[in-house]
Amino acid sequence: MGSAWELDRFLSDVERRAFRQAAFAVRDDQAALDIVQDAMLKLAEKYADQPAEEWPLLFQRIMQNTIRDYYRRQKVRNFWVGALSILTPGRDDDDDEDPLEHVQSTTGHDDPVNILATGKNFTLIQDAIEKLPARQREAFLLRYWEEMDITETAAAMGCSEGSVKTHCSRAVRALAAMLQDKGIRDE
């Protein structure tokens, strides 16, 4: 059974990677921080009395579920926003304004200061990882960044070991192709 002190050590070890992982998935730093906080609280509330060696897998499962919950909430919100915007009077369909011009990046990876601080390679890798399909990204990050083996990754993702191998292989090939286009070659 893990103690509060062990939990602190475990969370400080995983929190930065968990934040990046959530940010890759939701592309919003604030939402990613909320997701990590929710996952930490759920782990502390429900699984703090479990053996400490079970925490990495449990935490990853909680993270994946919390990210999925976020997608669901976004979907519902987008539906209602869309429905209400149709009913809102005074909108001009011939409006030539591009809504994307008003969207501000919340991840900040196109900010020049951030690019200088983190290095161009990371920015390109981050872009490529964000473009991966969700399951491939999940498998790639769990397998290689969290250093889980195939069995653990399969358990965390709730799929078969064969699927994990396929997702990982496809993810690496897709990343290689995307990064090669940007000038980062496999040496």
Partner 1 sequence: MNEERYARRLIADLDDSLKTLQPEVLQRLEASRERACELAGRHESQRFRGAGSLTLADWVRHHRSSVAGTMLVLVLALATVVWEYAGPGNDDDTAAVDASLLAGELPVNAYLDAHLNKWANAN
When asked if residue 168 is in the footprint of partner 1 (CB under 8 A), the reply is yes
CA pair distance 61, 66, nearest whole angstrom = 9
Residue closer to partner 1 by CB (options 118, 155) is 118
For residue 76, CA distances in Å to 37, 126, 145 come to 22, 27, 31
Interhelix angle 161-181/150-157, rounded to 10 degrees, is 90
Q: Which of 51, 69, 78, 119 binds partner 1 (CB under 8 A)?
A: 119
CB of 154 to partner 1, least distance (A): 17
Stretch that binds partner 1, among 3-11, 61-69, 80-88, 89-97 (CB under 8 A): 3-11
Taking CB under 8 A as the criterion, which residues in 9-48 touch partner 1?
11-12, 15-17, 19-20, 29, 33, 36-37, 40-41, 43-45, 48
Residue closer to partner 1 by CB (options 79, 110) is 110
